[in-house]
């Protein structure tokens, strides 16, 4: 089954063609990072205008690269939420127009649920990834969300914990801004951390022992206090040390809670997704801890290039909806900017 995926929830315009929920025939992503960098964050109006400009050429490129035309596509999967309303509208309206004119089935996809399926993607000639085994614990750590989710099957999941305030990626971005580093903050902080000492600052591990909830806004306040104490003039090595210490705190909290959730729910697998899952320290810490503390629990970590937003993961999840015949009437499909994880089954 060939699914065309479309993703415009934030600042990436993306389209992809994926076969049978895993084989990536094309994956085109146009990132707006440079457009938003001067503002230190995504400007919704700027994002939407750029999506409008790019969406048709990007869909075209995805079809061409996959060497298919729309007639060969079995269904269209498009991110309906969560995300920026004006950005989502561009993708959803484009997908609806394509579905209507070509009489194809369409399904609206929850972006958070789609990140799970980044772990299932494979390119031609690559080994097929291990399939999802349930029950599994899914950690989504992105710019807008940090949640631990128990998945009992495809399309069947319950959120067991979420952040009370900032998402992990948001904390990376805000702290990078405080330290006058570039946007997006995650990769910048990770890079600086490589030259820093993670023991230099004893940042707290927020809510480490308190269930599956997270809180990252306090870390931002701690860094702000440090920056103020130094009269906004921190030497480069101190910045590197702050980055390393902060990154270590976030990685420890995310890892500890994910492992605990897997133990308590007798999970057969742990899957991570979202932009923060590209973080090397987090990937390494999880691998180490899973090896030491979990027997027979497989840890699935997506290829770095599929951790951040893309349409291949949307198309991959679209396959599981299509397989069950779960589609949306094209005129009823609406954007849902505030969609959360547990609402994704609503079709």
Residues of this chain that interact with Zn ion (CB under 5 A) are 142, 309
Partner from Zn ion, ligand KG4, none binding residue 5, C-beta < 5-8 Å depending on class: none
Choose from Zn ion, ligand KG4, none: what does 94 bind? Cβ within 5-8 Å by kind.
Answer: none
Given ligand KG4, Zn ion, none, residue 77, with its beta carbon under 5 to 8 Å by kind, binds: none
Q: Which does 276 bind (CB under 5 to 8 A by kind): ligand KG4, Zn ion, none?
A: ligand KG4
Minimum CB separation of residue 116 from Zn ion in Å reads: 11
Under a CB-based contact definition with an 8 Å cutoff, are residues 21 and 10 in contact?
A: no
Q: Is the Cβ of residue 156 or residue 305 nearer to ligand KG4 in the bound state? A: 305
Cβ within 8 Å of residue 232, ≥6 positions away: none
Supply the minimum distance, in Å, between the C-beta of residue 296 and ligand KG4.
29
Q: What is the CA radius of gyration of the chain?
A: 20
Closer to Zn ion at the Cβ: 179 or 250?
250
Are 86 and 11 within 8 A, CB to CB?
no
Quote the least distance from Cβ 51 to Zn ion, whole Å. Answer: 15
Q: Which does 171 bind (CB under 5 to 8 A by kind): Zn ion, ligand KG4, none?
A: none
Please write down the HEC assignment for all residues of the chain: CEEEEEECCCCEEEEEEEECCCEEEEEEEEECHHHHHHHCCCCHHHHHHHHHHHHHHHHHHHHHHHCCCHHHCCEEEEEEECCCHHHHHHHHHHHHHHHHHHCCEEEEEEHHHHHHHHHHCEECCCCCCCCCCCCEEEEEECCCCEEEEEEEECCEEEEEEEECCCCHHHHHHHHHHHCCCCCCHHHHHHHHHCCCCCCCCCCCCCCCCCCCCECCHHHHHHHHHHHHHCCCCCCHHHHHHHHHHHHHHHHHHHHHHHHHHHHHCCCCEEEEECHHHHCHHHHHHHHHHHHHHCCCCEEECCCHHHHCCCCHHHHHHHHHHHHCCCCECCCCCCCCCCCCHHHCCCC
206 binds, among ligand KG4, Zn ion, none (CB under 5 to 8 A by kind): none
Nearer Cβ to ligand KG4 (161/273): 273
Distance CA 148, CA 302 (A): 17
Distance of closest approach, residue 309 Cβ to Zn ion, in angstroms: 4
Nearer to Zn ion, 14 or 179 (CB): 14
Give the nearest distance from C-beta 338 to ligand KG4 in angstroms: 14
Residue 161 site contact among ligand KG4, Zn ion, none (CB < 5 to 8 Å, cut-off depends on kind)? none
Task: Between 1 and 37, name the residue whose CB sits nearer to ligand KG4.
Answer: 37
In whole angstroms, the minimum distance from the beta carbon of 32 to Zn ion comes to: 14
Least distance between ligand KG4 and beta carbon 251 (Å): 9
Please, which residue, 19 or 36, has the CB nearer to ligand KG4?
A: 36
Residue 172 binding partner per list ligand KG4, Zn ion, none, with a CB distance cut-off of 5 to 8 Å that depends on partner kind: ligand KG4
Q: Residue 309 or 336: which CB sits closer to Zn ion?
A: 309
Least CB distance from residue 173 to ligand KG4, whole Å? 5
Which residues of this chain interact with ligand KG4, rule CB under 6 A?
Answer: 10, 142-144, 169, 172-173, 184-187, 190, 274-276, 278-279, 308-309
Of 259 and 278, the one with the shorter C-beta distance to ligand KG4 is 278
Q: In whole angstroms, what is the distance from residue 230 CA to residue 248 CA? A: 22
């Amino acid at each position: 089954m060939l699914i065309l995926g479309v993703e415009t929830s934030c600042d990436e315009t993306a389209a992809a063609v994926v076969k049978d929920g895993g084989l990536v025939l094309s994956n085109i992503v146009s990132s707006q990072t440079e457009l938003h960098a001067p503002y230190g964050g995504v400007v919704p109006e700027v994002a939407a205008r750029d999506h409008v400009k790019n969406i048709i050429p990007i869909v075209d490129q995805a079809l061409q690269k996959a060497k298919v035309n729309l007639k060969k596509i079995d269904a269209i999967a498009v991110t309906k939420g969560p995300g920026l309303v004006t950005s989502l509208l561009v993708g959803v309206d484009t997908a609806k127009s394509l579905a209507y004119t070509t009489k194809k089935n369409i399904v609206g996809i929850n972006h958070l649920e789609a990140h799970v399926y980044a772990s299932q993607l494979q390119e031609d000639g690559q080994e097929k990834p291990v399939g999802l085994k349930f029950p599994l614990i899914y950690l989504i750590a992105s710019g807008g969300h940090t949640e631990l989710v128990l998945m009992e099957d495809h399309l069947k999941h319950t959120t067991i914990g979420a952040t009370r305030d900032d998402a992990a990626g948001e904390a990376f971005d805000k702290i990078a801004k405080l330290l006058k580093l570039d946007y997006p903050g995650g990769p910048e902080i990770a890079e600086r951390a490589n030259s820093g000492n993670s023991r230099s600052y004893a940042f707290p591990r927020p809510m480490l022992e308190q269930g599956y909830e997270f809180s990252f806004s306090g870390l931002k306040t701690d860094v702000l206090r440090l920056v103020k104490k130094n009269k906004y003039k921190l030497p480069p090595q101190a910045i590197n040390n702050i980055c390393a210490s902060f990154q270590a705190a976030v990685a420890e909290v995310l890892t500890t809670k994910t492992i605990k959730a897997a133990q308590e729910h007798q999970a057969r697998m742990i899957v991570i997704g979202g932009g923060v899952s590209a973080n090397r320290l987090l990937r390494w810490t999880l691998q180490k801890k899973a090896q030491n503390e979990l027997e027979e629990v497989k840890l699935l970590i997506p290829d770095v290039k599929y951790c951040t937003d893309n349409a291949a993961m949307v198309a991959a999840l679209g396959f599981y909806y299509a397989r069950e015949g779960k589609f949306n009437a094209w005129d009823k499909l609406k954007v849902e900017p505030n969609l959360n994880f547990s609402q994704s089954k609503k079709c």
